[in-house]
Structure 1
């Protein structure tokens, strides 16, 4: 697919560009409205087409914990019959706790961890089925309260009797940016993994105590513009970090429900590196 079309879709999903204007611009790039309508399903997430993750070795339940202004909803997954587990907070993209991120939470659990996928939209009623609505609601969250709700999620994991007290986080897109924010704001965090997420301000990097792992798509110019300053600050402050740029792949390359952006090879390699860090930092 033409990279200009993928870039336009990325702009649409990460800006205030409304659907009507997006479709107009898509029609121009595609050559007609009819072709735009044919292309659209290949751009949007398709949760029914992608195989959902399942395993008899894990147990999954819906849980809540106390947030700033009420209960935070989350999906918790862990290996059956296991205790003393390293814990991982899973942070969704900018459309809420969708089926893809729930799958990721289960996959983390299948690797031997207690995983918690938090719904950041809990204060606004939870993640809606309409992804465009979810994107609108994300923009209505109070940034500071949202950060505190995730910090409380980390504390919730530390109090779990089936956990070992060691906690890390992994986030995707909007969640990747939040993963970096948690590293800045929680000195007890052991590991923070950010998939194509916005970088923190360089002046805040000295606060980081966690091991940092960042995954970026080589074609993701919007997010990648912030890499040099972040890496320089990590080096200057002697933070334990790794940054990987996967050439020729797009933003959201890990999302197997996004057919035009998913890259299986890059996703598998990034995943192996992510789990490797968690096994190193969160094991007993």
Structure 2
């Protein structure tokens, strides 16, 4: 059965940063094929992410999905409120909601927050690595905000054996040489900002000797995997990305 955990931050947090955080844990029915750190979108640990965690567990993986945003005031209920503003088809709602969005998201852009979040993610790896049969078979998967932090965790922790960032921004390109795991990165061709940076990212990964594979989907933009977003969800593409992710994890974690 799924449960909520409280975990300590791995390193001493900066002043005013929480010393612990919550995470959603779900176990497979039998011995795990491996483990997955699942990182949410910018909306936080909403039900959609818990559903994805459940899907990974049904495939045989032990999954931990940390809540990285409640520490800065974005509880899941607030995340849903912010998502409704940003994805509204009503231009007036989006325009009037901009101050609310800026206020909510500003705290995550300071360097201290990024360091705290990576420390929290490394604590998730600590927890998984201590579970029977999991050490050496830990992957990270994330979406949008979580895709960016999937890159960051892979760069920060050599225990990560595979990384699957969905439409995420990579760490500073000068830091990619610290990545030791293979990476399978998904993008939508209509996600203009990330598509513009992808050639440079690919070149930096190649120069650093990182096993980096990108899959770009035609007719898709940002958040194509999120089946709760009627504006961006692309069912056939999401299903293809899911199957590719499972195949990649099976090979990378030795679960074939």
**2:95 match:** none
**1:70 match:** 19
**2:94 match:** none
Structure 2 unaligned residues grouped into runs of 5+: 84-100
Per-residue CA deviation, residues 88-125 of structure 1 (Å, 9 max, x unaligned), is 00000111101111111111111110011110024346
Q: TM-score, normalised by structure 1?
A: 0.74
**1:106 match:** 54
**2:39 match:** 91
**1:46 match:** none
Residue 260 of structure 1 aligns to a residue whose secondary structure is: coil
Q: TM-score, normalised by structure 2?
A: 0.82
Residue 186 of structure 2 aligns to a residue whose secondary structure is: strand
Equivalences for 1:26-175 in 2 at 5 Å?
59-67=1-9, 68=13, 69-80=18-29, 82-124=30-72, 127-131=75-79, 132=81, 136-141=103-108, 142-161=113-132, 163-175=134-146
- Of the two, which has the highest radius of gyration? 1
What is the rounded CA distance, in whole Å, between the counterparts of 2:73 and 2:128 in structure 1?
A: 23
What is the rounded CA distance, in whole Å, between the counterparts of 1:161 and 1:115 in structure 2?
A: 14
**2:229 match:** 258
Query: Cα distance, 1:83 vs. partner?
Result: 2.7
What is the rounded CA distance, in whole Å, between the counterparts of 2:72 and 2:133 in structure 1?
A: 30
Distance 1:126 1:76, change over 3 A: farther
Query: Cα distance, 1:126 vs. partner?
Result: 6.4
What is the rounded CA distance, in whole Å, between the counterparts of 1:128 and 1:242 in structure 2?
A: 32
Query: Cα distance, 1:200 vs. partner?
Result: 2.1
**1:222 match:** 193
What is the rounded CA distance, in whole Å, between the counterparts of 1:171 and 1:280 in structure 2?
A: 19
Query: Cα distance, 1:85 vs. partner?
Result: 3.9
Per-residue CA deviation, residues 44-85 of structure 1 (Å, 9 max, x unaligned), is xxxxxxxxxxxxxxx3111121124322211111212x2354
Structure 1 unaligned residues grouped into runs of 5+: 1-58
Per-residue CA deviation, residues 244-276 of structure 1 (Å, 9 max, x unaligned), is 000111100000001121001110111111111
Per-residue CA deviation, residues 118-149 of structure 1 (Å, 9 max, x unaligned), is 10024346624122458654532412111111
What is the rounded CA distance, in whole Å, between the counterparts of 1:139 and 1:210 in structure 2?
A: 31
What is the rounded CA distance, in whole Å, between the counterparts of 1:253 and 1:268 in structure 2?
A: 10
